[in-house]
């Protein structure tokens, strides 16, 4: 039997890992919360407590993944775009 060239095997492994990450991402806390918001059509901002259409809110990680946060139910929140920009600017030292 002829073996595929090593480059093809490496590419297949990378594709398999990418597929696994996508599959896992569909079931993470942020994705679940996004699906709930889309179904409801609106959500309350956890900061300003106003109600917004689903298109105007973001699912945010309380502690960013880049800073060691986890993608769990206790680390995600719903923020309107304005509050999300304010929070992100504060976390990363940018003026909003």
Does pLDDT of 96 surpass 70? Answer: no
CATH class name, domain 6-91: mainly alpha
Instruction: Please indicate whether residue 22 or residue 57 has the higher confidence score (pLDDT).
Output: 57
- CA–CA distance, 30 with 57 (Å, rounded to integer): 13
Q: Distance between CA 75 and CA 18 in Å, rounded?
A: 24
List the domain boundaries for the chain.
6-91
For the entire predicted model, the pTM comes to 0.69
pLDDT in tens, 41-89: 999 999 999 999 999 999 999 999 999 999 999 999 999 999 999 999 9
């Amino acid at each position: 039997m002829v073996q595929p060239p090593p480059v093809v095997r490496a590419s297949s492994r990378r594709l398999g890992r990418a597929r696994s990450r996508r599959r896992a991402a569909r079931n993470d806390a942020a994705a679940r919360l996004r699906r709930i918001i889309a179904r409801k059509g609106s959500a309350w901002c956890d900061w300003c407590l106003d109600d917004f259409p689903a298109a105007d809110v973001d699912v945010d990680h309380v502690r960013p993944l880049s800073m060691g946060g986890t993608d769990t139910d206790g680390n995600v929140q719903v923020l309107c775009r304005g509050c999300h920009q304010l929070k992100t600017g504060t976390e990363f030292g940018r003026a909003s």
